[in-house]
């Protein structure tokens, strides 16, 4: 066995080649800071009630995430009550609140009994000027005073730099440097607020920050260009040890980095431990899907209903033999049970072949003479195109009955 091929997964050996890993600064372990209950809920239309937040928090804790960002107490009395309930629920995960760089927000977080605070401030001059109407000096002063105040009251302080990746580096550094020297930060959160970085740019930015600050760096990415997971992984390759994720990639606008995609990629493609229980992925996804009322597409990686479903006749032909040989990893990069998924499923539709019909008939205990296979297959394709979907097992049974009558 090797890092790229185990009893549970089979990925590319190139991931672990010296050439591919040259210059990488991979940590042994990455902490997962899950933001489903705060940034995830910021997706338009999502509302988590208190009991629902507790249910998700418990599921996240059971899945082994290190930290749970429970919400922003300043939002409402109901939100504050939910954050406090999560913080006092006896979870193994550390519980954080989201706060502006204001002493009043810190006081609300303190009343919730949380372990730490994400303290946000805009870090780009243009966002300060046009969205907030603030001079930079106000942001610096507020950040220094509020972070020091939070630390004085025993809270872990993660300094959250809004729009850092569109700020000039010196503008951003003036803020970060002031907090590091005059205020307080236990860690710095590099925030790609508008999802505007490439993986290479993320690596460059994080590296520059690491040259100036000796604090742990966290990475928080949005998915506007579909790069939230790639950018999160890129940050880890230059030494970031804390990754922000959401279940099902929900979040502001088009979402954040997906918990399952980030953790599975780290463990299987990079060999970096996360401590997350992968077998909980599907169950966790379904819980958030139900409570958020945001349905996942069937082709969602890892947890989608179609992740281990196959229709193509050629591919089913492979599966017929591989299933008999008990070699699923010749066809899938990881076993379905590793991520809590159901077994491989063969379905019938327009793209089916004879092997598909044979496989489905065997599963349903049907016997189809060889001279009738072509007729049945033709009818499967015709019916699937007419209905514009795959066939149900009952429809296939009736189809076979008609073909043999």
Q: Check residue 403 and give its pLDDT.
A: 87
Q: Check residue 1 and give its pLDDT.
A: 62
Structure tokens at 365: 């205990």
Going from the C-alpha of 360 to that of each of 120, 144, 236, 291, 381, the distances in angstroms are 55, 66, 44, 34, 14
Task: Average pLDDT across each block of 10 residues of the chain; the chain has 405 residues. List them in order.
Answer: 92 97 97 98 98 98 98 98 98 98 98 98 93 93 98 98 96 96 98 98 98 96 98 98 98 98 98 98 98 97 97 94 95 98 96 94 93 94 96 95 87
Task: Enumerate residues 6+ apart whose C-beta is below 8 A from 333.
Answer: 9, 10, 11, 268
How many angstroms separate the CA atoms of 81 and 286, rounded? 25
Q: 241 by DSSP, 3-state: which?
A: coil
Q: Check residue 2 and give its pLDDT.
A: 85
pTM for this prediction? 0.96
């Amino acid at each position: 066995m090797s890092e790229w091929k185990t009893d549970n997964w089979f990925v590319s050996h190139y991931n672990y080649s010296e050439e591919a890993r040259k210059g990488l600064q991979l940590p042994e372990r990455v902490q997962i800071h899950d933001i489903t209950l705060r940034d995830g809920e910021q997706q338009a239309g999502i509302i988590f009630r208190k009991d629902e937040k507790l249910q998700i928090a418990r599921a996240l804790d059971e899945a082994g995430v290190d930290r749970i960002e429970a919400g922003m107490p300043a939002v409402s009395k109901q939100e504050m009550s939910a954050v406090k309930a999560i913080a006092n629920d006896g979870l193994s995960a550390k519980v954080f609140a989201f706060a502006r760089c204001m002493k009043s927000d810190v006081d609300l977080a303190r009343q919730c009994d949380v372990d730490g605070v994400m303290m946000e401030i805009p870090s780009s001059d243009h966002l300060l000027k046009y969205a907030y109407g603030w001079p930079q000096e106000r942001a610096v002063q507020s950040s220094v005073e509020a972070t020091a105040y939070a630390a004085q009251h025993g809270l872990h302080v993660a300094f959250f730099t809004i729009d850092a990746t569109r700020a000039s580096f010196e503008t951003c550094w003036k803020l970060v440097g002031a907090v590091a020297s005059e205020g307080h930060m236990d860690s710095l959160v590099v925030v790609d607020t508008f999802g505007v970085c490439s993986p290479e740019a993320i690596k460059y930015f994080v590296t520059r920050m690491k040259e100036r600050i000796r604090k742990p760096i966290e990475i928080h990415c949005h998915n506007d260009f579909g790069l939230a997971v790639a950018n999160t992984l890129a940050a880890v390759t230059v030494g970031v040890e804390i990754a922000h994720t959401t279940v099902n990639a929900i979040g502001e606008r088009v979402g954040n980095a997906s918990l399952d995609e980030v953790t599975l990629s780290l463990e299987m493609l990079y060999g970096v431990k996360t401590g997350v229980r992968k077998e909980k992925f599907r169950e966790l996804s379904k819980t958030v899907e139900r409570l958020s009322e945001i349905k996942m597409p069937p082709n969602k990686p890892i947890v989608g209903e179609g992740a281990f479903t196959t229709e193509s006749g050629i591919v089913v032909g492979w599966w017929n033999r591989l299933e008999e040989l008990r070699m699923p990893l010749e066809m899938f990069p990881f076993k379905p049970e590793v991520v809590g998924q159901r077994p491989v499923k063969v379905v019938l539709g327009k793209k089916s072949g004879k092997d598909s019909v044979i496989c489905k008939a065997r599963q349903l205990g049907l016997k189809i003479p060889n001279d009738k296979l072509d007729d049945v297959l033709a009818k499967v394709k015709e019916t699937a195109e007419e209905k514009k979907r795959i066939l149900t097992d009952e429809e296939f049974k009736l189809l076979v009955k008609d073909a043999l009558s």
